[in-house]
């Protein structure tokens, strides 16, 4: 079948093949080719307006690509609705906090986990994940009463509740202090060590330096550079686009 790609452990987990997204006259993403292997911890960086968040929206299905194809875990998903992609193993922590402020921490986690965790394991799974994201013992608090950093962690916990194959984190440390950023970096690394493939959009270069094995740089909707963090940091072109010299 032409829509399917052979699924082996060696096959890439996610492939964006010539993906473009046009909003009226604006080409937000232009002919993007991006391949993410299983087990990767990939950082996506670039100046504001580079199209990073749009790429996440295209992967998750909030927006449909104007052209190109997206393949995930052996299936072509670019025409699928978001919920179906979620059941296939995609999960996201959004840039704008996507928690349910009026529900308790426990109920936030339950809502996220319902399609992915059996009823019998629900409570144990919630406790385990909350402990992992540093919210152990807080399950009865209302989500809106958590600090900003704790809300971000709750959202990561919710994103993990779906047992994702690929976890998309859009600016997970936005608004966090140095201590919280450090803790988040350790969390992301440990999740990756457990086998979750992760893509992170981040502006905080200290964070990127700490976690990333491979970095993709986007500029003006295009893939600008790709390489190790050392290669990227010494790339003259990358410093230029960040300083607005292109």
Partner 1 sequence: MANAAEWDEVRPVSRGVSLLKAENVAFVLFLAYLLIYPSTTDDFSIGNTAYFMAITLMALSLALIWGKAGILSFGQTAFFGIGGYLFGIYTLNVLGSGATWVGILVGVMAGGIVAAILGYFMFYGGVNDVFVGLTTLALTLVLQTFMAQTAGPEWAVGEARLNGYNGMYVPQISIGDAPLYGRPLYFLYLAILIGVYLLLRWLSSSRWGYGLVALQENRPRTETFGYNVRLMQVQVFCLAGCIAALSGALYASWGSYIDPSSMGLTAAITPVIYVAIGGRRSLTAAMISSMILLQLSQSLASSAPEYALVIFGVLALLAVLFVPEGFMAALFSAIDRWVFRRARVDPGMGTGGVSSETPRVG
Positions touching partner 1 (CB under 8 A) are 60, 62, 81-84, 86-87, 91-92, 94, 98, 100-104, 106-107, 110-116, 123, 138-142, 144-150, 158, 161-162, 173-181, 203-207
CB of 154 to partner 1, least distance (A): 10
Instruction: Kindly tell me which of 16 and 167 has the beta carbon lying closer to partner 1.
Output: 167
- Closer residue to partner 1 in complex, CB, 29/158: 158
Nearer to partner 1, 33 or 144 (CB): 144
**Residue 241, CA distances (Å) to 74, 152, 206, 235, 246 in order:** 35, 29, 19, 10, 6
CB of 75 to partner 1, least distance (A): 15
In the bound state with partner 1, the residue whose beta carbon lies nearer, of 18 and 178, is 178
Residues facing 17 on adjacent strands? 69
Burial class for 35, CB neighbours closer than 10 Å (0-12, 13-18, 19+): middle
Q: Which is nearer to partner 1, 27 or 122 (CB)?
A: 122
In the complex, minimum distance from the CB of residue 10 to partner 1, in angstroms, rounded to a whole number: 28
**Alpha-carbon distance 230 to 246, whole Å?**
21
* Residue 138 beta carbon to partner 1: minimum distance, rounded to whole angstroms: 6
Least separation in angstroms between residue 39's CB and partner 1 is: 22
Quote the longest CA-to-CA distance of the chain.
Answer: 57
Which residue pairs, CB below 8 angstroms and at least 24 apart, start in 113-122? 113/161, 113/162, 115/86, 115/87, 115/162, 116/161, 116/162, 116/163, 117/161, 117/163
């Amino acid at each position: 079948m032409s829509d399917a790609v052979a699924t082996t452990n060696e096959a890439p987990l996610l492939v964006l093949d010539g993906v473009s997204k046009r909003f009226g006259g604006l080409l937000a993403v232009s002919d993007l080719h991006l391949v993410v292997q299983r087990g990767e911890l990939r950082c996506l960086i670039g100046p504001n307006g580079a199209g990073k968040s749009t790429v996440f929206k295209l992967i998750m299905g909030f927006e449909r690509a104007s052209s190109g194809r997206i393949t995930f875990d052996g299936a072509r998903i670019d025409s699928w609705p978001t919920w179906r992609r979620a059941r296939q193993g995609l999960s996201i922590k959004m840039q704008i906090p996507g928690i349910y402020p009026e529900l308790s921490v426990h109920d936030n986690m339950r809502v996220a986990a319902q399609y992915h965790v059996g009823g019998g394991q629900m409570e144990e799974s919630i406790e385990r994940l909350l402990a992992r994201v540093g919210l152990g013992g807080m399950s009865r608090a209302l989500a809106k009463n958590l600090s900003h950093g704790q809300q971000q962690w709750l959202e990561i916990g919710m994103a993990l509740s779906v047992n994702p194959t690929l976890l998309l984190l859009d600016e997970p440390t936005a608004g966090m202090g140095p201590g919280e950023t450090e803790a988040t970096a350790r969390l992301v690394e440990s999740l990756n060590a457990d086998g979750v493939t992760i893509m992170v959009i981040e502006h905080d270069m200290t964070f990127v330096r700490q976690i990333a094995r491979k970095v993709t740089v986007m500029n003006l909707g295009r893939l600008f550079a790709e390489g190790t963090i050392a290669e990227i940091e010494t790339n003259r072109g990358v410093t230029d686009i960040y300083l607005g010299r292109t």
